[in-house]
Every structure is written in structure tokens, then in C-alpha cells.
Amino acid sequence: MKDATEIIIRPVLTEKSVALQTLPAASPRTGERVVRKYSFEVLRGATKVDIRRAVEQLGRCEVEKVNTLTVKGKLRRTRRGAGYTRTWKKAVVTLRSGQELGGVLGQAFEST
């Protein structure tokens, strides 16, 4: 198993991912609560269990679930010809109710 700092490469900060950090979730099953979802670029070979352990270790919080997806590289054309951007793995981590991201990962989100 890789070290936690090797598994999580960087936080993904887009308009959508920032909006997901304090998403109100009102459903009959959950009731009124705030769902905190954070997006990270992770190692391509990392499993959901590896990502969960890394976030819990670095963020000092409890993870409810982890969703992963592979972002395919896009075709980019330049004067020298065509090429592709790299393919990378994205993880959307949902924290348990009442939890906040702290530690090293919390500082990464606050500084940007």
C-alpha cells in the first residue's frame, strides 16, 4: 500500500466542486443536513479503500463514501501536431454528517 501523501495528488477546485463542499441534502432518508463532498486528483492505481484511508489519515475526519471516475485525456492540437492531455483519476469523497475536513487536506482547501 502506498503512503497517503502519494495517493492524494491535489485537490480539484472547480466551480462545481466548491459548490459541493456545502451542499444541502434534503431527502426523506437523510432529513435536513449538510453534505460535504470534496474532490481530489488521486493516483490512477488507487482503490476506493486506499483513498478512504488516505483522506481519513490526512484530513482527520470520517469518510462516508468514495466515488471515483477516470477523466480521459483530451485531444489538443498545436503547431507541431496533435497530442493528448494526460488521463487522470478523480475521487469525490463524501464525509459523514457533522464532519469537516481538517489537517493537511483542510489547509489545502483553505489556502486556495
pLDDT score for 102: 78
Do residues 54 and 8 lie in contact, with contact meaning Cβ atoms separated by under 8 Å?
yes
Neighbours of 108 (CB within 10 A): 18
Query: Nearest-CA neighbor of 17 among 1, 40, 34, 33?
Result: 40
Average pLDDT score, the chain: 87
Domains and CATH numbers, the chain: 4-111 (3.30.70.330)
> What is the pLDDT at residue 35?
79
- pLDDT category at 18 given cuts 50, 70, 90 is confident
Instruction: Report pLDDT for 28.
Output: 61
Interatomic CA distance for residues 16 and 2, integer angstroms? 29
Task: Write down the pTM of the prediction.
Answer: 0.82
The average pLDDT across 37-47 equals 95
Express each pLDDT in 57-87 by its tens digit. Answer: 998 999 999 999 999 999 999 999 999 999 9
Residue of 103, 106, 80, 77 whose CA lies nearest to 11:
106
